[in-house]
Chain A
C-alpha cells in the first residue's frame, strides 16, 4: 500500500512537476565549475539520440535537460521553475523581431565564406562590426552583440599591437645586422693588425702595442646579443598576444553556446574565422564538451562543430514552437505546455520563443499555477481535494492525463480507509498496539482522512464513555429497560467490548428485543393485510413476556381498536382461568375461536382447557364456588391486560 501511495505521489510529483521542471533561464554559463557543462550520456544512447529531437526532455527535479542524448545542467530546480514562471508571466518583448533576426543574419552573411574575399575583407568586417551595435539596440539582444563587438575590437587592437611589434622587431633586426657588420669590421682590423705584427717579428722593430680594438669588439658583441634578446622578446610577446586573443574569442563563443544564445555563438564563430589565420582554427576551449555531443572516437572538434550545434538548436527551437502553436490550436493545452517548456529551456533566447504572444503565455501560466497547486496537494497528501483540482486542470487542458492520478488517489484513499478499519477492529479487540500502528499507517497515507480524525476522537473519549456507559447499562438492565438498551446497542457494544459478562447480557437483550421487533413487525403486516385477529394473537403472545415495551404497547393500542370483542373475550378467558373458572374460560375461548377460527392460541387454549375440565369435572362439582368475572363496561372495549 505504501508503495502504491508513494508511487502515486511520485507520479504526481513527476507528472505535475514534470512540466514545472524548468531549468533556470538564461542561465548563463555556470561559474561553479559544473554549471553549463555538458554531461555525456552513454555512447550508444548518444548515437541513437543525436539527431532525435523527440528524445529531448526536461527534468525539473534535477534541473537538467536532455538534448540530443546529452544532459545539460540548467541549475537548481527552484531557479529553473522560477525562470520558466517568470517567462510565462513577463510581457512579450517589444520590438521588431524580424528586423532583429535579419540584422543577425546580415552580420553572418557579411562574414560568411561566400561573401568575404580579398577585396572586401576589411570592409565586410567593419560593416558587420557596425551592425552589431544596431543589433544591440534591441532589448531582446540583452547587449550580447556589444560583447561580440568588444571582443572583435580587442582583436583588432591586438593586431595593431602585433603590427607595431613587427615594426619594432624589423628595426631591431636591422640594428642587429649593422652591429654584426661593425663587429666583423673590427674583427677584420684586429686580424690585419695581428698579421702585420707577425710579419714584422722577423725584422726588428720598435716595441709597441701588440693589438688594439679588442675591447671595443667585446662591447659590440654584447650589443648584438642584447638586440637579439630583444627580438626574441618581441617574438614571445607576439605569440602570447595571439594565443590570448584566440582563447578569449573561443571562450566567448563557447559561453554563448552554453548560454543558449545560439545566434551570437554563430556570429562569434564567423568573426573568429575571419580574424584568425588558418593555423588558429583548431578548437582549444570547450573541445571536450563539444566532443560529448559527438560520441565518436577520435572526433576532432572544429569551429564547424560549434556552428552545427547552434544551428541544430535553432532549428529544434523553431520546430518546438511550431508544435506548441499547433497543439494550442487543437485545444491540447497540456501537450502544448510541455512542448513549450522543453522548447523554452532549449532556446530561451531565441526570438521565436521570446516573442511568443502574451495572451497564450497567460493561458499557460494559469495552467502552470493549477498544476503547481495540484502538485502541492500531492505533496501534502491532501487526497480529498486532488480530484477537484484534476477536474479543474482538465477544464483548462482536456488532454491532461488525470485518470491515472485519480486512480492512484482512489487507491490511496482506499488503503487509508482499510487501515482505519483495521485500527478500529484492533481497538475493539483490545489490541492497542496494533490499533495505533494501523491508525498511524492510515494517517500517513492520507493525513486528512476525516475518518482518522473521528476515530482519534472516539479513542480519546473512549475511557470517559466507558466510565459512563457501564453504570448506565447496569441501571437499565436492573430496571428491565430492554428497549433503551437495545436503542443504544452500538455505544454499549463499544463500551462493554472488554467486559465479557456484560457483553453476554447485552447480546441477550439484543436478541430479545430483536425477536420482539420481529413479532411487532409481523403483527403490523397482518394488521395491514386486514387480519386484525391474527395480528392480535401475535401481540398477545408477545405481550406475555414484554408487557412493558413501549413499542409493543403502541402497536397493541393501534390494533386493539379493531379487535375489541375478540380481545375482550381473550382477556375474559384468561381472567376466568386465572380465577379457577375453567369451564367458563373454555366458553370464552370457544367464542373467541368462533370469531377467529384459524387462531392458534384459541385452538391451543380450547384443547388445553377442555382436557382439564374433563379431568376435573367430578372434583369441580363438589368444590368451592369461584367468583364470577365482572361484566365488562360498555365503553371499555379494550381490557386492561394482566400485569406481568
Chain B
C-alpha cells in the first residue's frame, strides 16, 4: 500500500486543477490572448473624434448583432456590440468592415476578438479570433 497520505490527494488534485484553469482563463480575462498587445478600442473616442484614431490599430472584443450589408468581392458590414467590462455602461453598436478575404462565417451572437484598423472613419477588421 502506498504510504502517501490520502489527504494529499484530496487537497492536491483540486489545487492542480485550479492552477491549470487559472493558467488558461486568466490571460483571457485579463485581455490577453492573440491581440493582447493591442490597445482596446474606445467607442466613445471614436464617436467624438474619429480622425484622431485613424491609422491606428486596436483590439476589440465584440459580439455580432447584425450583418448590415454584404458586397460580393468587397466584404461585409457587421453591426457588433463591444463586450464591455462594465455591463452597466453599454457602448452601443458600431459598424465594422470585414474584407472579402476572410474565410470566417459570422452568425448573430458569435463573439470575436478583433484587430481593428481605423482607415479614415472606417473600422476595418484585419484579423479576428473567435472566443
Contact = CB atoms under 8 A, between A and B. Distances in A.
Interface of A: 576, 581-584, 586-588, 590-591, 593-594, 606-607, 610-611, 613-615, 617-618, 620-621, 623, 625-628, 631
A631 B50 CA distance: 11
B51 A627 contact: yes
A617 B74 contact: yes
Interface in B54-83: 54, 68-71, 74-77, 79
Interface stretch (B5-13, B18-26, B29-37, B117-125): B117-125
Given A594-B92, A615-B74, A587 B46 contact: yes
A610 B50 contact: no
Contacts of A631: 48-49
Given A610-B77, A614-B97, A583 B49 contact: no
A607 B66 CA distance: 11
Nearest to A585: B121
B99 interface: yes
Given A625-B51, A625-B54, A614 B69 contact: yes
Contacts of B75: 614, 617
A587 B47 contact: yes
A583 B78 CA distance: 12
A591 to B, nearest CB: 5
B94 interface: yes
Interface of B: 46-52, 54, 68-71, 74-77, 79, 92-95, 97, 99, 119-124
B50 A614 contact: no
Given A587-B95, A631-B49, 14 more contacts: A583-B95, A590-B79, A593-B93, A611-B68, A614-B76, A614-B77, A615-B71, A620-B119, A620-B120, A621-B120, A621-B124, A625-B120, A626-B120, A628-B49
- Chain A residues touching B, majority SS: helix
B44 to A, nearest CB: 11
Contact of B122 (A590, A606, A613): A613
Q: Which 6 A-B pairs have the closest CB atoms?
A: A610-B68, A610-B69, A628-B51, A584-B121, A614-B69, A583-B122
B53 to A, nearest CB: 10
B120 A591 contact: no
B125 to A, nearest CB: 11
B119 A581 contact: no
Contacts of B52: 628
21 contacts: A581-B50, A582-B121, A583-B120, A586-B68, A586-B77, A587-B47, A593-B93, A594-B92, A607-B68, A607-B69, A613-B69, A613-B77, A614-B69, A614-B75, A617-B74, A617-B97, A617-B124, A620-B120, A625-B54, A626-B121, A631-B49
Contacts of B71: 611, 614-615
A583 B123 contact: yes
Contacts of A590: 79, 92-95
B121 to A, nearest CB: 4
- Chain B residues touching A, majority SS: strand
B95 A613 contact: yes
A20 to B, nearest CB: 94
A629 to B, nearest CB: 9
A144 to B, nearest CB: 121
B70 A628 contact: no
Contacts of B77: 586, 610-611, 613-614, 617
B38 to A, nearest CB: 19
B120 A581 contact: yes
Contact of A628 (B50, B79, B99, B122): B50
A631 B46 CA distance: 11
A231 B63 CA distance: 164
A611 B122 contact: no
A618 B74 contact: yes
Nearest to B93: A590
A584 to B, nearest CB: 4
Contacts of A581: 50, 120-121
Contacts of B49: 628, 631
Nearest to A590: B93
Contacts of B46: 584, 587
A615 B50 CA distance: 21
A621 B75 CA distance: 13
Nearest to A588: B47
Nearest to A589: B95
- Of the listed residues B46, B76, B97, the one surrounded by the most CB atoms of chain A closer than 10 A to its CB is B97
- Of the listed residues B46, B52, B95, the one surrounded by the most CB atoms of chain A closer than 10 A to its CB is B95
Contacts of A576: 121
Nearest to A569: B47
A611 B69 contact: yes
Nearest to B90: A594
B50 A594 contact: no
Contacts of B124: 617, 621
A366 to B, nearest CB: 90
A102 B131 CA distance: 140
Nearest to B65: A590
A581 to B, nearest CB: 4
A627 B54 CA distance: 12
A518 to B, nearest CB: 33
Contacts of B48: 631
B106 to A, nearest CB: 14
B90 to A, nearest CB: 9
Given A594-B92, A594-B93, A614 B74 contact: yes
